[in-house]
Amino acid sequence: MRKARLALVAVFWLAVWQAVAMALGNQLLLVGPVEAGATLLASLPQGAFWAAVGNSLLRVLGGFLLAAALGTALAWLACRSDWTRDLLSAPILAIRSVPVVSFIILALIWTDSSWLSLIVSFLMVLPVVYSNAVEGIARRDRKLDELARVFDMGGAARWWAITLPRMLPYLIAACRTGIGLAWKAGVSAEVIGLPSGSIGERLYQAKLFLSTADLFAWTAVVVALSFACEKLVLAGLAALEKSLSGRYSRDPA
């Protein structure tokens, strides 16, 4: 029932979009979903299309995964020591507050443009994952920690049995937000840095040639990739959460 309702909502907004485009009657200002879809379909057989998709996907997803791994590790260290948390608070706040364009310019000065979207995606996601992971770890049941010490449970075992299950819901929320941020920031960085064979380069070319249909087609590709990455990552985390729940909820007897 819900899927049918969502499909009807999608059809409604596509119809509104098409109606507005037809009312304007100017494809330079706005094209409808029919024109954008036709442009996208015409691009699918082209090798350059898939090369751009693959290059951007590897960089943006790579930046996201690095941020997720490092953010989780830093959160664990921060929760083990107040000194570590205080030391990390300043750089995390700076990364969260500095405009994206500043990071893009710095990255262009420091490294090759091919690394730009990976670096920017990483920096945009890191504070989100770190903050959520710290919150999740801080809310774990302290009595379980004490019980683990009584039974002389090792650090790795405590991590898998106590810390990670409590942190996972917060990581899921962070990933749900972070993947969208990674794609927005990563593709924006590509538009500025213009790495060869990237989605950002194709968007910039659409702007140069005033091709609104190409602009909407590539935007749809970015939305689809972001949605697919989110579903894939969340499915993996949900499977991990289910595995941990089943593993540690069994009755020892």
User: CA triplet 20, 25, 29: central angle to 5 degrees?
Assistant: 80
Q: What is the mean pLDDT of residues 8-26?
A: 93
pLDDT of residue 252: 43
Q: In whole angstroms, what is the distance from residue 69 CA to residue 24 CA?
A: 47
Neighbours of 207 (CB within 10 A): 12
pLDDT of residue 81: 86
- Spatial contact of 134 and 158, defined as CB atoms under 8 Å apart: no
Rg (CA), the chain: 22
Q: Is the pLDDT of residue 12 over 70?
A: yes
Q: Which of 160, 94, 179, 89 is nearest to 131 (CA)?
A: 89
Q: In this structure, what is the dihedral angle of CA atoms 222, 108, 74, 125, given to the nearest 10 degrees?
A: -20
* Count of positions (residues) in the chain: 253
Burial category of 7 from C-beta neighbours within 10 Å (exposed 0-12, middle 13-18, buried 19 and up): exposed
Superfamily, domain 46-248: MetI-like (1.10.3720.10)
Confidence of residue 155 (pLDDT cuts 50, 70, 90): low
Burial category of 243 from C-beta neighbours within 10 Å (exposed 0-12, middle 13-18, buried 19 and up): exposed
pLDDT of residue 145: 60
- Give residue-wise pLDDT tens across range 91-131: 999 999 999 999 999 988 988 888 999 999 999 999 999 99
Confidence of residue 251 (pLDDT cuts 50, 70, 90): very low
Q: In whole angstroms, what is the distance from residue 177 CA to residue 36 CA?
A: 27
Q: In whole angstroms, what is the distance from residue 165 CA to residue 136 CA?
A: 9
- Give residue-wise pLDDT tens across range 211-248: 999 999 999 999 999 999 999 999 999 888 888 776 65
pLDDT of residue 53: 97
Q: What is the mean pLDDT of residues 156-171?
A: 76
- Give residue-wise pLDDT tens across range 190-217: 999 999 999 999 999 999 999 999 999 9
pLDDT of residue 182: 96
Q: Which of 89, 105, 98, 86 is nearest to 124 (CA)?
A: 98
Confidence of residue 138 (pLDDT cuts 50, 70, 90): confident
Q: In whole angstroms, what is the distance from residue 59 CA to residue 198 CA?
A: 10
pLDDT of residue 217: 96
Which has more pLDDT, 153 or 169? 169
pLDDT of residue 59: 96
Confidence of residue 1 (pLDDT cuts 50, 70, 90): confident
pLDDT of residue 8: 92
- Regarding pTM above 0.75, the answer is yes
Which has more pLDDT, 134 or 2? 134
Q: Is the pLDDT of residue 158 over 60?
A: yes
Cα distance from N-terminal residue to C-terminal residue, the chain: 42
In terms of average pLDDT, the best of 134-138, 149-153, 179-183 is 179-183
The average confidence (pLDDT) of the chain is 88
Q: In whole angstroms, what is the distance from residue 2 CA to residue 96 CA?
A: 36
Residues 6 or more apart in contact with residue 120 via CB below 8 angstroms? 63, 100, 103, 104, 107, 185, 186, 188, 189
Q: What is the mean pLDDT of residues 29-55?
A: 95
